[in-house]
């Protein structure tokens, strides 16, 4: 059975796309067929193919299953603001049933593992009643939490992990991402606090790097528990 994982972050600009791309590359090195989805992307630019988002293009590039852009990113919004506000300004409405239906349709494509990247942090509204995080529940996808290793990450990470688990969604693990070129002060102590406070395994602490393919990044990932047991790589 294919496995789907939902990638969220402690905040925006913590490296969710970088980590998702690194995971896609790591899974591909294990011979897995991978799909990367960015269901909702705010901050798109017009191209010959319509509105496109850099993060979604990155996932499209690193996935081994080649999909049309519209399947990778079915909801493309122009302004780089909260998705529900960007959608309102474009005269669109966002809904969980439509979004989950689009994702399920794409995930019928044969694959081994799919990574669905959220937008911003965990509690991002789709509309007054639904959150983007509800998509993880709809897809029955365990969550990987990307923690941007910078000042303030302890509060953001512990609150987010608590919110994920309070909703009854499995937390598959967390990944620390050194998203700044200068390591945060007290890095080891912060990592120790995160490990003690988040009730899920650490799946890696990634160094600052320009490419998800960087060998130091790949070596830091611990993906053994994420590989579907019945896959050809398991």
Tokens representing residue 62 in the block: 């690193």
**Residue 47 CB: number of other CB atoms within 10 A?**
10
CB 97, CB 122: distance < 8 Å: no
CB atoms under 10 Å from CB of 125, counted, come to 16
Task: Report which secondary-structure segment, H or E, holds 219.
Answer: helix 215-220
Question: Is 199 labeled as catalytic in the residue annotation?
Answer: no
Active-site position among 16, 38, 92, 210: 38
Minimal CA–CA distance to 173: which of 141, 198, 207? Answer: 198
CA pair distance 111, 124, nearest whole angstrom: 28
Q: Which residues are catalytic?
A: 38
């Amino acid at each position: 059975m294919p496995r789907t994982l939902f990638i969220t972050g402690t905040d925006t600009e913590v490296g969710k796309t970088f980590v998702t791309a690194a995971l896609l590359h790591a899974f591909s090195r294990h011979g897995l067929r991978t799909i990367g989805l960015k269901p909702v992307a705010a901050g798109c630019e017009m191209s010959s193919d319509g509105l496109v988002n850099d993060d979604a293009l990155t996932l499209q590039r690193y996935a081994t299953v080649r999909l049309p852009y519209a399947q990778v990113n079915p909801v493309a919004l122009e302004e780089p603001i909260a998705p529900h506000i960007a959608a309102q300004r474009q005269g669109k409405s966002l809904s969980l049933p439509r979004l989950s239906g689009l994702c399920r349709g794409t995930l019928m494509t044969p694959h081994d593992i799919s990574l669905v990247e959220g937008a911003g942090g965990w509690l991002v509204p789709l509309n007054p009643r639904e959150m983007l995080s509800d998509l993880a529940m709809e897809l029955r996808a365990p969550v990987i939490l990307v923690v941007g290793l910078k000042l303030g990450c302890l509060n953001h990470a512990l609150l987010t992990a608590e919110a994920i688990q309070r909703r009854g969604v499995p937390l598959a693990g967390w990944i620390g991402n050194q998203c700044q070129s200068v390591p945060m002060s007290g890095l080891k102590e912060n990592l120790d606090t995160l490990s003690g406070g988040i009730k899920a395994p650490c799946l890696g602490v990634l160094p600052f790097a320009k490419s998800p393919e960087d060998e130091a990044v790949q070596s830091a990932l611990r993906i053994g528990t994420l590989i579907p047991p019945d896959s050809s790589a398991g």
